Chain A
Amino acid sequence: MVLSVAEKSYLYDSLASKPSIRPDGRLPHQFRPIEIFTNFLPSSDGSSRIIASDGSECIVSIKSKVVDHSIENDLVQVDINVAGERDDSIIVETLSSLMNKVLKSNKGIDTSKLQLTKKYSFKIFIDVLIISSYSYPASLISFSIFSALKATKLPKLVSSFDDLEVEELPMFHDYDLVTLDVNPPLVFVLAIVGDNIFIDPASNETEVANNGLIVTWSNGKVISPIKTLALNDRYINGFNPLLLKNGIKLVEQYGQNIADALENL
């Protein structure tokens, strides 16, 4: 979206003022409302679709496969597809590397939860499809993955856990399913304007942001990766390290609220 000079300076002045005024009147820590649908794809083990109030939309499918974990050590794989973008475009590649980093097995997702027997584990394939997005979609993707994983049910193992002695493939119950019990991290996008910092920037806010931050949150605390993010190509500036601290504090303070909101209800 191209904004006029006057629009940008109006937005910048509003956002940078003290106290700040966001274009839709939100508080610095306030998200735009979202709508979540889960488990609408019977041929996937879990699925979720999030629509944000601006029409941004993300669909996630979770599929699993039984693998020998002594050979295959990456048990989580994220593939991202953005409508209208080539698979090798910059946005797809950066989002893909970010999400793979966030959900890396044993750090983002506890792989012991995926283990079936001494030899075999589930490998989880997370496919992300962005139908439309109007601002940097990292939060949207991570929320969708979070709710899809929370809704994921995998076949129940009926064969024995110890399969090192007797060579056998894992056997599953005909219809009983087990809920996958993982706590995937959440990714937050923050925008810095002047000396203010905001969560979940809308598209017009990203246009005038001096810088952006990606902060990852898991189980009550902020974890890596944390990185800066250029949200536009005109206003980008260095920022006061104090703001990084404020940003982390903001995420620490409200991360749990988001996780609860996505999980419960």
Chain B
Amino acid sequence: MSRLEIYSPEGLRLDGRRWNELRRFESSINTHPHASDGSSYLEQGNNKIITLVKGPKEPTSRSQVDTNKALLRISVNITQFSKFERSKSSHRNERRVLEMQTALVRTFEKNVMLNLYPRTLIDIEIHVLQQDGGIMGSLLNGITLALIDAGIAMYDYISGISVGLYDTTPLLDVNSLEETAMSSVTLGVVGKSEKLSLLLVEDKIPLDRMETVLAIGIAGAHRIRDLMDEELRSHAEKRVANASSR
């Protein structure tokens, strides 16, 4: 085999998925009850991500006080061991990471009802233990779950996903091999709507294909929303049942 076949004529991808299939998606919330107000652990394919939400809490310095709304701060820690090959430098303060943080803050600033929590700070800490493509989408999902776990009011779920374009076929939920081999788009979708709160296009993509790419992306994001909703409900039911048995 000279070159890996990204998408076989039979319609199978490297990991055996079809073009419109998601990777394995597992999530749990309230994983770090001592260390945070809300937390989630997410596995999307081989992405493994811990998200901690601390707050709304008293800001640590006066400069963080906004009398009208809460200040949202997101820090992404991509561990040195997160890829198959260990990276030599720590990823902190890398421009790519700083850009991710800014994009995430912008996305959630619009979705979280920050005006309900004036003069407070909401601190979100993310640890990427393992990454395998489409990391930005997984970060969105992890943050959504952790914020909901923290009981912080927001308008709707934001679910994230990456879609690649292989020749003319869109491939849903790309992994790292696919990501390096083709152009891809990351989107964050608001709830069950077709509204996008985030759209990242960092590669060249033919405009006339964009519509199909977005369409499958939105469908995939809705599916992820449902999976997250499910985890939340089962958790909620357990808690409510627990509370009423007392």
Give yes or no for direct A-B contact (beta carbon below 8 Å). yes
- Contact residues of A with B, CB < 8 Å? 40-44, 54-55, 57, 59, 61, 63, 65, 79, 81, 83-84, 87, 125, 127, 129, 131-132
Pull 19 A–B residue pairs with CB atoms less than 8 Å apart, ordered by A.
A41-B81, A42-B130, A43-B84, A43-B130, A44-B81, A55-B35, A59-B127, A65-B86, A81-B77, A83-B127, A87-B92, A125-B86, A127-B79, A127-B80, A127-B86, A129-B127, A129-B129, A131-B127, A132-B34
State A61–B82 Cα separation when bound (angstroms). Answer: 9
Known: A129-B79, A131-B127. A43 touches B46 (CB 8 A): yes
Q: For the complex formed, measure the closest distance between the CB of A125 and the CB atoms of chain B, giving whole angstroms.
A: 5
The chain B residue with its CB closest to the CB of A86 is: B92
The chain A residue with its CB closest to the CB of B43 is: A40
- Contact residues of B with A, CB < 8 Å? 32-35, 46, 48, 50, 52, 77, 79-81, 83-84, 86, 90, 92, 125, 127, 129-130
State A76–B113 Cα separation when bound (angstroms). Answer: 48
Query: Which of A59, A63, A125 has a CB less than 8 Å from the CB of B129?
Result: A59
State A144–B52 Cα separation when bound (angstroms). Answer: 21
Query: Which of B33, B46, B80, B83 has a CB less than 8 Å from the CB of A42?
Result: B46
Q: For the complex formed, measure the closest distance between the CB of B176 and the CB atoms of chain A, giving whole angstroms.
A: 11
State A61–B87 Cα separation when bound (angstroms). Answer: 13
Contacts of A44 in B (CB 8 A): 81
State A132–B83 Cα separation when bound (angstroms). Answer: 23
State A87–B50 Cα separation when bound (angstroms). Answer: 20
Contacts of B35 in A (CB 8 A): 55, 57, 131-132
B90 adjacent to A87 (CB under 8 Å): yes
B129 adjacent to A83 (CB under 8 Å): no
Known: A55-B32, A132-B35. A83 touches B81 (CB 8 A): no
Q: For the complex formed, measure the closest distance between the CB of A11 and the CB atoms of chain B, giving whole angstroms.
A: 21
Q: For the complex formed, measure the closest distance between the CB of B148 and the CB atoms of chain A, giving whole angstroms.
A: 20
Q: For the complex formed, measure the closest distance between the CB of A246 and the CB atoms of chain B, giving whole angstroms.
A: 32
Q: For the complex formed, measure the closest distance between the CB of A55 and the CB atoms of chain B, giving whole angstroms.
A: 2
